[in-house]
A and B are shown apart, each in its own frame.
Chain A
């Protein structure tokens, strides 16, 4: 490869880790947020089931 071409392409390899890091971190951050939402929803649904059982118990006691 003649030296001018080498010079033109010189910044590509060194910059690759930064580019990969940028995109990877972006998607990881979004995924982390989605995971947080998912865990919150699971917790709330579990509590909802417990509450439904408690209400059913109360209704049985009232009868």
Chain B
């Protein structure tokens, strides 16, 4: 039987070398995206107005919505939260395969980043909804899916804090992470596919013009890089704390 030594993720490995360039790239891309959102992309129209006016060289007959600009960061943070959840699931699977606590740490941190970005999604989404629809909440498919995602991630952390034994806690957490990663896409699809003739939900998708798509893409890339940087920073800090605690224990034992 081949004895393949398991290579564990550790602070200081190759991803850390990418942190500095990633941070700069992420900041630059996000700033470009921000500026693009406000100055380059055409504004989206809202309710129609009586009559039409010539603005620039386009015939405008709808109210111009500035609040839609929130979307250019709302979507990217949402995408990043899904990706973080995906990585959390990957590390959870690796943990279940190898039973090595290091993967459990990685999984937990990915879910932390996911929680952070879910909170960001909810904040931006809340501001957007409040202005657009004049209500604080509506049971709209997108919003409900994010709410479910937030609940599952919170449940993950509550579960972790209510199991004392480390091995058991890691196993349960890994299973829940996998179930969550399977559940969220199903959530997303089901709320879209079920015809809502009873519940007339105004889905403001329309289509995205190429400029809008590019702006969202840039911001999404920027946010993903920032998420990656945050993950490595947190991972470094947690590893340092873990090694310090381990040292303390060996010192206490020797005494």
Interface residues of A (CB under 8 A from B): 2, 4-5, 7-12, 14-16, 18-19, 21-23, 25-26, 29-30, 33-34, 37, 40-41, 43-45, 47-48, 51, 54-55, 58
Contact = CB atoms under 8 A, between A and B. Distances in A.
Contacts of B238: 40
Given A18-B127, A29-B116, A55-B251, A8 B64 contact: yes
A58 B124 CA distance: 54
25 contacts: A4-B50, A4-B51, A5-B53, A8-B53, A12-B64, A15-B67, A16-B66, A18-B128, A19-B127, A22-B127, A23-B73, A25-B127, A26-B73, A26-B77, A26-B123, A29-B116, A29-B120, A30-B120, A33-B230, A34-B233, A37-B233, A43-B241, A44-B237, A44-B244, A47-B248
Chain A binding surface SS class: helix
Interface of B: 34, 46, 49-53, 55, 60, 62-67, 69-70, 73-74, 77, 116, 119-120, 123-124, 127-128, 130-131, 226, 230, 233-234, 236-238, 240-241, 244, 247-248, 251, 254-255
B53 A2 contact: yes
A4 to B, nearest CB: 4
A22 B129 CA distance: 11
Contact of B124 (A22, A34, A54): A22
User: Can you list the 7 inter-chain pairs with the closest CB atoms, starting with the nearest?
Assistant: A22-B127, A15-B67, A44-B240, A18-B131, A4-B51, A40-B237, A41-B237
A28 B93 CA distance: 33
